[in-house]
Amino acid sequence: MDIPKDHLVDMYETMVKIRRFEERIRELYFADKLPAFDIAAGLIPGEMHLAAGQEPVAVGMRPHLKAGDAITATHRPHHVAIAQGVDLNKMAAEIFGRETGLGRGKGGHMHLFSVEPNFGCSGIIGEGMPVAVGAAMAFRHKGTDNVALSYFGEGAANQGAFHESLNLASLWKLPVVFICEDNAYAISVPKAASTAIPDNSDRASAYGIPGVLVGENDPVAVYEVMGEAIARARRGDGPSLVEIKTDRLWGHFEGDADAYRSEEFKTEMNERDPIIVYGNRLLAEGVLNEADMASIQQAMHDDVEAAIEFAMASPYPAPESALEDVFAGRSVQL
Amino acid sequence: MDIPKDHLVDMYETMVKIRRFEERIRELYFADKLPAFDIAAGLIPGEMHLAAGQEPVAVGMRPHLKAGDAITATHRPHHVAIAQGVDLNKMAAEIFGRETGLGRGKGGHMHLFSVEPNFGCSGIIGEGMPVAVGAAMAFRHKGTDNVALSYFGEGAANQGAFHESLNLASLWKLPVVFICEDNAYAISVPKAASTAIPDNSDRASAYGIPGVLVGENDPVAVYEVMGEAIARARRGDGPSLVEIKTDRLWGHFEGDADAYRSEEFKTEMNERDPIIVYGNRLLAEGVLNEADMASIQQAMHDDVEAAIEFAMASPYPAPESALEDVFAGRSVQL
Amino acid sequence: MTTTTERKLTTQKAIAEGIATEMAEDDSVFVMGEDVGTYGGIFGATEGLLDKFGPERIMDTPISETGFIGAAVGAAINGMRPIVELMFVDFFGVCMDQIYNNMAKIHYFSGGNVKVPMVLTTAVGGGYSDAGQHSQTLWGMFAHLPGMKVVVPSNPYDAKGLMIAAIRDDNPVVYMFHKGVLGLGWMTNNPRATGAVPEGPYEVPIGKAAVAREGTDLTIVTIGLSVHKALDAAEDLEKTGISAEVLDLRSLVPLDREAIVASVEKTHRLLVVDEDYQSFGMSGEVITTAVQGAFDYLDAPPMRLATPDIPIPYSHPLETWALPSVERITEAASTLLVAG
Amino acid sequence: MTTTTERKLTTQKAIAEGIATEMAEDDSVFVMGEDVGTYGGIFGATEGLLDKFGPERIMDTPISETGFIGAAVGAAINGMRPIVELMFVDFFGVCMDQIYNNMAKIHYFSGGNVKVPMVLTTAVGGGYSDAGQHSQTLWGMFAHLPGMKVVVPSNPYDAKGLMIAAIRDDNPVVYMFHKGVLGLGWMTNNPRATGAVPEGPYEVPIGKAAVAREGTDLTIVTIGLSVHKALDAAEDLEKTGISAEVLDLRSLVPLDREAIVASVEKTHRLLVVDEDYQSFGMSGEVITTAVQGAFDYLDAPPMRLATPDIPIPYSHPLETWALPSVERITEAASTLLVAG
Ligand SMILES: Cc1ncc(C[n+]2csc(CCOP(=O)(O)OP(=O)(O)O)c2C)c(N)n1
Ligand SMILES: Cc1ncc(C[n+]2csc(CCOP(=O)(O)OP(=O)(O)O)c2C)c(N)n1
Ligand SMILES: [Mg+2]
Ligand SMILES: [Mg+2]
């Protein structure tokens, strides 16, 4: 496939931005929790699920999106949100629990909602899958050619919502692309201990839809497969299921001792870090040179830094504002 | 396949018994509700789901069962319960809401539970499927070679519980046989409006287990397929999914105007009534003669009549006994 | 309640009419659920709508409640106003995550940026031997979980007006219709299941209780079918010289606490009648509201008559005994009158 | 509580020890759930058990809660005594049908012929910014639905004893452990999260409240982590001369109504502290119990301090403000003392 250069570069830039964002979150997450780790303490309390290593899964669809396309993501949402172009300042502010955040500090890192771009995520496994089906219904009703993308982990593929969503989307021939991020683990449980067959993409036949396996953690491979799946959905030919083999480089959540994965496994995994591999390829193919890469690095770091600064400079919400936003138009009465 | 004559006859007898039982329930259900049908009134108030036409699905497994095998059935449970040998008197008494019933009148027709034989059913679509998986786990833990059979309708095959149960059973290689009774309708919704592919048996591949389609509503065809599936489970080779095309001759529940099925469809369906078809075949093949059939008819009618009489002669439970049996060993305090 | 027309409808037809009225006005309203199309809804809540609006807007679904209720959430946040039917409330267990964790919380999580304007309709209630998985009301549970409004009409006028208000509301509304107030041809019905209903659109405001009957000696607070039982009991009580006020809550979220307190301040005695399970539910909440709001007015401890904490039994004598009845209400009211 | 040993354990280790004790005695006990094996349970409730009992009895599951909780029901009615973990109670929505309609009702439907001896363990509670889908307690909802016992230990001794009692119980028991009382290394902990625990098996009876602290001026009824907040508040109150009695309910089903009434008869004033949502839940039930059982003893209307009817917010200042706190309890108690 002949991929426009700006797409190749855009994907690389976005990968770098994602990684940088998560590195910074990670630093700040631990900054004031050590030496005695306390999940409730610090600048960023609570659970933190980072997606380092899974960037290809997120950026591969990016060049194919258009305004209004909907995405539902998971408890591990940052890479996808950034790839879709969710406002980085507001996203950072939400993670830091600030009034200027996407949800005024009410949602937090697992509950990022944006109207433009059309993004949502959730803390419950499989919860976003039916929502994507519904977004696609709305597009059909309104007569647009928008599509809905639903991200989920390989662990989620054994949740009932997976089955119901794929059946509905196929039955009604809706413009949805289901994207399984197969990082081989659901917390500590390896895929072989959770899934009766090796590849979830083979489950597509249970719904009469195309199932495609992307065997490499490579943005270009993802780009190609997602291009076809999104185009198919956009032209009204119905949903697809795409499974992408990827790597979660860090623990399930920050603070996870990650003792369930062997040291060899982790070493091997880190050696195939997709940003390094893809960057080397772009260098080798002459798409970028060392100087380009350095300036991308700088630009992305700057974007991230600006967002983090915005967030940290933003005020916390007033405590009593906890009572607002339960219902549109009124506060809860105490 | 060479089927022992007593199996052929046993299946016929059981089909006749099931049909007679449901005919009598149906008569008595309407007896004191007419002319103005009132669901809450009469000898048998409440919803009533009868399985006339689906007898082959139930009797085909019967000769392969052994003591201790577990069955979970659906909201339409009588045919399966009778085929497994659930005490007909206690079952009738439960349906009539009597103290002598399987559940002392607390469960009713959708909630028949028997310890010996090991039978249960429920009013929620798909609810029995995980329960069968758990029964099979218990057999494994206890080291028996018992199997668990899980019945469900084709409508249930789009409920999340289906997916989770099949995956678990396959993953853990448990002795379960999943039996889809495909009567082509879920209340008024035809299969094509609910299921993205024609045959649920094809969904077996999503779990790496055998999927077998029985295309005729014939006890012998069911017998053969179930024989293999049960034997496979019993010898420790794991679960199977069997789908059987069958017919629901009457409405979804009694009182259903059944306006969503055309008159032609209903006429054709009644013409292929499996009891008539199978009876004619046994006659033609010389397995039974007219006299045998008459005496079977008589014997089964007598069994059913005895059960109905037992039920109707039994007392109603004392009203306050409603408070008993919530917890083993104590009544609820008002 | 003043009515502007003498045309009478059953509650069931009033619900369907409420939906039709809004669908005609607003293209973004559509209906999804099991058997809502050809069948018209198992309890007739969507009767006639398929013919009027076609299969694109009246959609039969597979038995995939998580899937299609979740899809309604997705459609709602993308500009539609779905009405989605959960056939019996008892089935909530297969799809509650989409309801309570998603539908009810997205507006909050988004800090008010994302609205979820949808109506979840569902049939509730027992009394016809449908046993423990088809006879519950469960409204106490829905009301306990934040982020969704919960309405329970007891008559045709309210049914249409609350449906229209629910569809127009920018928040998720759980609309529970009790089978016993629908006026279905195949169920014993209270005469009040048929009543005057204006032809055009109108709203009954969500969150306002109605005084179904004025009285001075005690207040009976209730909802759904039990409103009618309480009204029947009040008639019996009147014969013995007891004047009962009957308050029809009409919605549990928001709960009209002012109306409860005002009535108890007037009558000084409170009986709560609830078809839901007794403990940890509506009856305790109403009593607490009265005790906290009108402590000094109470002449006797508030009483409650609810379904005991048991699964709803199948057999007719058991179920009849377990659910609140006119006789029990009358009895409880009489006891309450001499207490304190 | 008298203890027969000085050996100290955290609540988390006490839970795991309770399970291990019974597993060693009874072959039919086994554990299922997400990450209960190698990981030892996300909150450590099954720590060390995989090594002791092997993967046949400590089974990691896929993320299929309906599947594996339903399987536990099937195993229980076929002679096993499963312990099944729902990682966070907040996830109940994907599997509640198996819990409330199946596990909790089969014994009743069968007229007592089929027993369902199983324990559903689950982590509850907030306070560490895990937001609205990972911070709820929801015990009021579980207690509202009939057929399951509901226990909530607040300390190591009770945790082990209630676990053993739950495993031995012939009924389904929902065993809710509050993350804040577990004594986990990675969470701020109350000093009482570590305490003396006897080595051998013992039972804490299900359905008996404990007087966590005696007092004479008011009764604070609560459960779970809030027991500790109430005890801390009681210490503060003592400094101002107020003597608070703290009642730790320990179980909601059965609810020890006698203990509530007895304490209110003694102190004449009641404050209920509940980390669950305020309306239609535990606080209303406890107040109703007190009002009905001790009406004439009450010197002031009972108060409640609960999480308001909002999703649990993420941001630290919002969450801290929303959940019951020592300061708020102290304040409420002081207000209550001068009321009436
Ligand atoms: C219904 C539900 N069950 C369990 C969990 C707890 N949980 C959170 S993430 C996770 C693992 C998810 O694995 P996978 O889907 O593969 O996504 P990954 O974390 O690998 O990105 C689990 C079990 C949950 N959030 N929701
Ligand atoms: C979870 C759930 N959803 C919906 C229903 C209502 N309901 C009862 S039977 C039925 C149709 C079932 O169809 P199928 O599984 O094909 O079985 P059949 O009735 O044809 O035997 C429906 C929708 C239910 N009982 N449970
Ligand atoms: Mg994974
Ligand atoms: Mg069917």
State whether C310 and B193 contact (CB < 8 Å). Answer: no
pLDDT score recorded for residue B102:
98
Q: Which of D34, D85, D107, D134 is catalytic?
A: D134
The stretch A115-129 carries a mean pLDDT of: 98
Query: Who's near A59: CB < 8 A, 6+ residues apart?
Result: A10, A11, A14, A15, A18, A79, A83, A219, A222
Q: In this model, does residue A75 exceed pLDDT 80?
A: yes
Asked if C65 is an active-site residue, the reply is yes
CATH topology of domain B5-313: Rossmann fold (3.40.50)
Question: Chain C neighbours among D 24-53 (CB < 8 Å)?
Answer: none
Helices B5-31 and B88-95 cross at an angle (nearest 10°) of 20
pLDDT tens readout for residues C250-260:
999 999 999 99
Of B5-14, B33-42, B117-126, B136-145, which range is least confident?
B33-42
Structure tokens at A67: 């305004």
> For ligand 2, what atom is nearest to the CA of residue B191?
16
CA nearest C286: which of A334, D143, D288, D308?
A: D288
Which of the ligands is closest to the CA of residue B184?
Answer: 4
Residue-averaged pLDDT of chain C? 97
Q: Tell which of A75, A125, A252 to mutate to test the D interface (max D CBs under 10 Å).
A: A125
pLDDT score recorded for residue A1:
63
pLDDT score recorded for residue A33:
87
Which of the ligands is closest to the CA of residue B159?
Answer: 2
pLDDT score recorded for residue A333:
67
Does residue C163 form part of some domain?
yes
pLDDT tens readout for residues A269-325:
999 999 999 999 999 999 999 999 999 999 999 999 999 999 999 999 999 999 999
Residue-averaged pLDDT of chain D? 97
**Domain shared by C237 and C130, yes or no:** no
Domain boundary among D152, D170, D196: D196
Strand pairing category for B176-182 and B148-153: parallel
Q: Which of C107, C134, C178, C228 is catalytic?
A: C134
State whether D131 and A108 contact (CB < 8 Å). Answer: yes
> For ligand 2, what atom is nearest to the CA of residue B126?
1
Interatomic CA distance for residues B197 and A289, integer angstroms: 50
DSSP C98-161: IIIIIITTHHHHTTTSS----EEEEEE--SSS--TTSS---HHHHHHSTT-EEE---SHHHHHH
pLDDT score recorded for residue D111:
98
Question: Chain D neighbours among A 234-293 (CB < 8 Å)?
Answer: 255, 259-260
**Domain shared by D24 and D156, yes or no:** yes
Give how far D4 is from chain C: nearest CA, Å: 36
Residue among D39, D87, D94, D130 to mutate when testing ligand 1 (max atoms within 8 A of CB): D87
Residues in the 5 Å CB sphere of ion ligand 3? A 153-155, 183, 186
**Domain shared by D261 and D176, yes or no:** no
Confidence of residue B165 (pLDDT cuts 50, 70, 90): very high
**Is the C-beta atom of B238 inside 6 A of ligand 2?**
no
Of A1-10, A160-169, C55-64, D303-312, which range is least confident?
A1-10
**Is the C-beta atom of B79 inside 6 A of ligand 2?**
no
CA nearest D248: which of D292, D286, D303?
A: D286
**Domain shared by D165 and D256, yes or no:** no
pLDDT score recorded for residue B334:
62
Q: Which of C22, C34, C65, C85 is catalytic?
A: C65
Q: At D173, which amino acid appears?
A: V
State whether A196 and B208 contact (CB < 8 Å). Answer: yes
State whether B171 and A193 contact (CB < 8 Å). Answer: yes
Ligand 1 lining (C-beta closer than 6 Å): A 75-76, 123-125, 153-156, 181, 183, 185-187, 248, 252; D 34, 63, 65, 87, 91, 94
Does residue C203 form part of some domain?
no
Which of the ligands is closest to the CA of residue A155?
Answer: 1
Rg (CA), chain C: 19
Q: Is residue B261 classed as helix, strand or coil in its secondary structure?
A: coil
Does residue C134 form part of some domain?
yes
Q: Which of D17, D47, D65, D285 is catalytic?
A: D65
Give me the residue spans of the domains in chain B. 5-313
Of B216-225, C2-11, C60-69, D149-158, which range is least confident?
C2-11
**Domain shared by D261 and D320, yes or no:** yes
Of B136, B165, B328, the CB nearest to D107: B328
Which of the ligands is closest to the CA of residue C122?
Answer: 2
Residue bearing the CA closest to ligand 1, atom 17:
A153
Q: Are B127 and D97 in contact (CB under 8 A)?
A: yes
Distance C298 CA to ligand 3 centre (A): 59
* CATH at D327: 3.40.50.920
Does residue C149 form part of some domain?
yes
pLDDT score recorded for residue D4:
53
Q: Are D258 and D207 in contact (CB under 8 A)?
A: no
Does residue C201 form part of some domain?
no
**Is the C-beta atom of B243 inside 6 A of ligand 2?**
no
As to burial, measured by CB atoms within 10 angstroms (0-12 exposed, 13-18 middle, 19+ buried), residue B216 is: middle
Q: In this model, does residue C216 exceed pLDDT 90?
A: yes
pLDDT tens readout for residues A128-169:
999 999 999 999 999 999 999 999 999 999 999 999 999 999
Interatomic CA distance for residues C57 and C49, integer angstroms: 9
Can you give chain A as a three-state secondary structure string?
CCCCHHHHHHHHHHHHHHHHHHHHHHHHHHHCCCCCCCCCCCCCCCCCCCCCCCHHHHHCCHHHCCCCCEEECCCCCHHHHHHHCCCHHHHHHHHCCCCCCCCCCCCCCCCCCECCCEEECCCCCCCHHHHHHHHHHHHHHHCCCCCEEEEEECHHHHCHHHHHHHHHHHHCCCCEEEEEEECCEECCEEHHHCCCCCCHHHHHHHHCCCEEEECCCCHHHHHHHHHHHHHHHHCCCCCEEEEEECCCCCCCCCCCCCCCCCHHHHHHHHHCCHHHHHHHHHHHCCCCCHHHHHHHHHHHHHHHHHHHHHHHHCCCCCHHHHHCCCECCECCCC
CA nearest C261: which of C225, C302, C204, C305?
A: C302
**Is the C-beta atom of C87 inside 6 A of ligand 2?**
yes
Q: In this model, does residue C168 exceed pLDDT 80?
A: yes
Give how far D241 is from chain B: nearest CA, Å: 39
**Is the C-beta atom of C42 inside 6 A of ligand 2?**
no
pLDDT score recorded for residue C340:
74
Of B35-49, B237-251, D224-238, which range is least confident?
B35-49
State whether A167 and B196 contact (CB < 8 Å). Answer: yes
Question: Chain D neighbours among A 63-102 (CB < 8 Å)?
Answer: 94, 97-98, 101
User: Looking at beta carbons, which residues of chain A come within 8 Å of B170?
Assistant: 196
Domain boundary among D170, D196, D222: D196
Q: Does B121 touch chain D (CB under 8 A)?
A: no
pLDDT score recorded for residue B1:
63
The stretch C125-137 carries a mean pLDDT of: 98
Give how far D142 is from chain C: nearest CA, Å: 9
Q: Using alpha carbons only, what angle is made at residue B123 by residues B119 and B126, rounded to the nearest 5 degrees?
A: 80
Weakly modelled stretches of chain D, pLDDT under 70: 1-5
pLDDT score recorded for residue A159:
98
Residue bearing the CA closest to ligand 2, atom 13:
B186
Of A163, A193, A205, the CB nearest to B202: A205
Of D64, D309, D314, the CB nearest to A106: D314
Domains: count for chain C:
2
The stretch B318-323 carries a mean pLDDT of: 98
Q: Measured in Å, how far apart are chain B's first and last C-alpha atoms?
A: 61
For chain A, list the contacting chains (3+ Cβ pairs, <8 Å).
B, C, D
**Is the C-beta atom of B123 inside 6 A of ligand 2?**
yes
Q: Does D255 touch chain C (CB under 8 A)?
A: yes
Interatomic CA distance for residues A37 and A47, integer angstroms: 12
Of C5 and A48, which is predicted with more confidence? A48
- Sheet of strand A148-153: strand arrangement: A118-120, A70-72, A148-153, A176-182, A240-245, A211-214
Which secondary-structure segment (H or E) carries D271? strand D270-277
* CATH at D100: 3.40.50.970
Q: What is the pTM (predicted TM-score) of this model?
A: 0.98
State whether C131 and B186 contact (CB < 8 Å). Answer: no
Which of the ligands is closest to the CA of residue A183?
Answer: 3
Domain range for C173 is 4-196
The stretch C289-306 carries a mean pLDDT of: 98
**Domain shared by C154 and C246, yes or no:** no
pLDDT score recorded for residue B333:
67
Give how far B174 is from chain A: nearest CA, Å: 12
Asked if D65 is an active-site residue, the reply is yes
pLDDT score recorded for residue C339:
84
**Domain shared by C173 and C216, yes or no:** no
Structure tokens at D243: 């003597």
C195 beta partners: C9
pLDDT score recorded for residue C107:
98
pLDDT tens readout for residues D62-106:
999 999 999 999 999 999 999 999 999 999 999 999 999 999 999
Residue-averaged pLDDT of chain A? 97
User: Which chain A residue lies closest to C84 (C-alpha atoms)?
Assistant: A134
Interatomic CA distance for residues D257 and D263, integer angstroms: 10
pLDDT score recorded for residue C2:
52
**Domain shared by C120 and C220, yes or no:** no
Distance B49 CA to ligand 2 centre (A): 10
CA nearest D128: which of D330, D275, D280, D329?
A: D275
Interatomic CA distance for residues D18 and D16, integer angstroms: 5
State whether C112 and A104 contact (CB < 8 Å). Answer: yes
Number of helical (H) and strand (E) elements in chain B, helices listed first: 10, 8
**Domain shared by C222 and C190, yes or no:** no
The stretch B20-29 carries a mean pLDDT of: 98
Domain boundary among D196, D219, D243: D196
Give how far A206 is from chain B: nearest CA, Å: 5
**Domain shared by C187 and C226, yes or no:** no
Distance B126 CA to ligand 2 centre (A): 8
pLDDT tens readout for residues A165-224:
999 999 999 999 999 999 999 999 999 999 999 999 999 999 999 999 999 999 999 999
**Domain shared by C175 and C214, yes or no:** no
Residue among A75, A127, A195, A253 to mutate when testing ligand 1 (max atoms within 8 A of CB): A75
Give how far B318 is from chain C: nearest CA, Å: 7
User: Which chain B residue lies closest to A238 (C-alpha atoms)?
Assistant: B196
What percent of chain C is predicted at pLDDT more than 90?
A: 96
> For ligand 2, what atom is nearest to the CA of residue B75?
9
Confidence of residue B33 (pLDDT cuts 50, 70, 90): confident
pLDDT tens readout for residues D188-213:
888 899 999 999 999 999 999 999 99
Q: Is residue C84 classed as helix, strand or coil in its secondary structure?
A: strand
The stretch B294-311 carries a mean pLDDT of: 98
Does residue D75 form part of some domain?
yes
Q: What is the largest CA-CA distance in chain B?
A: 64
Q: In this model, does residue C86 exceed pLDDT 70?
A: yes
**Domain shared by D47 and D155, yes or no:** yes
